[in-house]
Amino acid sequence: MDDSLLKNHFEQVAARYEELRVTAEQPEVILDVPRYRHTLREQARLEPAVKAWERFQALSRHIAEAEELREDPELREEAAEELKELYPRRDALREELRLFLIPQDENDDRSVILEIRPGAGGEEAALFAGLLMRMYTRYAERHGYKVEPINVVDTELGGVKEAVFLLNGAGAFARLKYESGVHRIQRVPVTETAGRIHTSTATVAVLPEAEDVEVNIADGDIRIDTYRASGHGGQYINRTDSAVRITHLPTGLVVTCQDEKSQLKNKEKAMKVLKSRLYDLYRAEKDQTYAANRKAQVGTGERNERIRTYNFHESRVTDHRIGLTLYKLNAVLDGDLDEFIDALTADEQRRKLEELNL
């Protein structure tokens, strides 16, 4: 790629980065908490590109100086040896800069709300949903994300009917957005007496956490119901009406939360999920490509819609989107997902570079 094109692009990025830096120092912006957070988030998103461009410029200057020294008879050999090392470094850095030319998802640096629900397979699907909840919890612990349960409804055998939780950490959405879709398990269920392998599914939805400034919900657009939180077999978790159900009347979206003992805290968490779902819905309506991808990723939970299969008999995990198979099932279920996520990220980058003819 012509370095003049890189120069034009990254000078604009650097100018925007400097503009954001100045903006973030203004007293009126600091006092406006949502705007201040938004400014810092955009600044943080641009910083890696700015720093990479600064390294590229410094390296280019170093190469130019070494090329001049090649004209000096006494320093020619030393300069030539140095250039043998510098040219590959510049090529690698130029390739890194190409990736920054890909339009970034504005949500990549956000925290995420994960929603896991059983699909086809009855109680075995609920048990699988519980395994996935643990897998993502372990992944969050490995990467320093804070796990905040919002609504987890257990089954008597230890599975989950629904698991909704927040993974709070910068860049969580960029890593976990590829997990949306139908996950399939193949194993002999604990309830199977004949030793037959069953196939069950669970659906995973990954939502970028919405900010208050982005989704405004009028009081008249929601109905809030309270009820007693329940546990296994309908047993009461507590004796007060602390659980909250919020219905968004214009869209029909329903969010429940019973994880906290405080009704107020449950309401706050439920509103957080509702805003993220609405943000995701509005984003889909605005962006047809995103909507199509979203529908294809999440699916309905049918077995033939799977994005990934977890086969216990062969200790095999296969991601069907990129054809990657790893024979380390236990490690994956313990949260070791980076090899899949890195491969999915690289595949998306490759496809976008091809679309942009870069």
Instruction: Encode pLDDT of 88-102 as tens digits.
Output: 999 999 989 988 988
* Dist CA 294 CA 329 (whole Å): 27
Residue 82 and residue 128 share a domain: no
Q: What angle do CA 104, 41, 175 make, to 5 degrees?
A: 50
Q: Is 254 left (phi over 0), alpha (psi -120 to 50) or beta?
A: beta
Residue 256 and residue 172 share a domain: yes
* Dist CA 294 CA 203 (whole Å): 12
142 inside domain: yes
105 inside domain: no
Residue 256 and residue 133 share a domain: yes
178 inside domain: yes
Q: Which two tokens stand for residue 335?
A: 């949260």
Instruction: Note the pLDDT tens digit of each residue in 28-67.
Output: 999 998 899 889 988 988 999 999 999 999 999 999 999 9
- pLDDT surpassing 90 at residue 104: no
78 inside domain: yes
Q: Which domain holds residue 72?
A: 3-100
Instruction: Note the pLDDT tens digit of each residue in 314-344.
Output: 999 999 999 999 999 999 999 999 999 999 9
- Neighbouring CB atoms inside 10 A of 197's CB total 13
356 inside domain: no
List the CATH number of the domain containing 86.
Answer: 1.20.58
Model pLDDT, residue 71:
87
87 inside domain: yes
Proportion of the chain above pLDDT 90, given as a percent: 62
Residue 144 and residue 10 share a domain: no
Residue 190 and residue 319 share a domain: yes
Count of structural domains within the chain: 2
Model pLDDT, residue 282:
86
List the CATH number of the domain containing 258.
Answer: 3.30.70.1660
- pLDDT surpassing 50 at residue 235: no
Residue 346 and residue 207 share a domain: yes
* Dist CA 125 CA 302 (whole Å): 11
Do residues 240 and 67 touch, judged by C-beta distance below 8 A? Answer: no
357 inside domain: no
CA 327 to chain centre: 24
Residue 136 and residue 51 share a domain: no
Q: With cut-offs at 50, 70 and 90, classify the pLDDT of residue 213.
A: low
244 inside domain: yes
Residue 132 and residue 184 share a domain: yes
Q: With cut-offs at 50, 70 and 90, classify the pLDDT of residue 304.
A: low
